[in-house]
Structure 1
Amino acid sequence: MSFKTTLTLAAAATAIGLSGAALADSHGHDDYADKALFIVTSDSLQTQGMAMILANAMREQGTTPHILLCDAAGELGVEGYESETELGPRGVKPEGLMQMMMGEGASVDVCAIFLPNTEYGEDDLREGVGVAAPGPIAEMMRDPNIPTFSF
């Protein structure tokens, strides 16, 4: 089932009062909306922040986010990195939201080419941040049951 079809069915189910879980059970998808892949590449503080806010909102709704940090966003995975400013209205930083989600079950990796193309090594990553292997990420991207979002 395509993501668009799933969204259409979810909207129809909501209109008639079925929950997403009920919809999933009725179509045999036990892991309906269980996972989502967030690919963050932007160096924009607001874009990084919104990616983390949306990933967290999905986590609160029962989805387990997998966050892939590439290019400039890879810095979020580096121990000691801190964004220059906090985002309003709640005074949060993208790396703070990311770390909070990691404590709640989200997984975070830097892209496979991030470390070899920076001065950082694996020892420089925050605790719990891994290095993505292309194969498993490609499998997630190909899985029609795992939506992929890019920021």
Structure 2
Amino acid sequence: MKSLKALAVAAVMSVTAMAPMAAQAGDQHMIDEVLVILSSESLQTQGMAMVLSNTMAQKGAKVNVLLCDKAGDLALKTYDAPALKPKDVTPGQMLNSEMRTFTF
């Protein structure tokens, strides 16, 4: 069941991340708003979600992030995790810095 949840999250994230690129490549219609749903406790998955969210925000999309289950810990002030390479930041630190650039 856990691998099915991980697969579903990965599929949603892939589609969400690719939508602005597909719109940009095919025609002039851009995706204005995206929803990133993150429920994985995997640091790598959390980190990639934050990287993709930041990229979409930098391209002008309004990014909404829904943190569920263990991923909700990212929003806690007490969140502590090992830093990810190559930038040596945690997913929580990426979320905090991205919240400053997100359009609410």
Q: Could you tell me the TM-score, scaled by structure 1's length?
A: 0.51
Q: Displacement of 1:90 after TM fit?
A: 1.1
Confirm or deny that 1:10 pairs with 2:60.
Answer: no
Provide the residue aligned with 2:53 in structure 1.
55
The AA in structure 2 aligned to 1:86 is A
Q: Displacement of 1:6 after TM fit?
A: 7.9
- Give the structure with the higher percent helix: 2
Provide the residue aligned with 2:90 in structure 1.
93
The AA in structure 2 aligned to 1:51 is A
How do 1:127-142 residues align onto structure 2 when only pairs under 5 Å count?
none
Give the total of aligned pairs.
Answer: 88
Identity %, equivalent residues: 35
Structure 1 unpaired stretches of 5+? 14-22, 25-31, 108-151
Change (3 A) 1:48 1:11: same
Provide the residue aligned with 2:12 in structure 1.
none
Report if the CA contact (8 A) 2:23-2:31 is conserved: no
Report if the CA contact (8 A) 1:38-1:67 is conserved: yes
Report if the CA contact (8 A) 2:43-2:91 is conserved: yes
Question: After the TM superposition, which parts of structure 1 deviate over 4 Å for at least 4 consecutive aligned residues?
Answer: 3-9
Structure number with bigger Rg: 1
Matched residue of 1:75: which SS? Answer: helix
Confirm or deny that 1:104 pairs with 2:101.
Answer: yes
Alignment deviations for residues 29-71 of structure 1 (CA, whole Å, 9 cap, x no partner): xxx3221100000000010000000100111111121110001
Kindly indicate whether structure 1 or structure 2 has the higher relative contact order, using CA contacts under 8 Å at least 6 residues apart: 1
Structure 2 unpaired stretches of 5+? 1-15
Q: Could you tell me the TM-score, scaled by structure 2's length?
A: 0.72
Confirm or deny that 1:35 pairs with 2:49.
Answer: no
Q: Distance in 1 between matches of 2:88 and 2:22?
A: 35
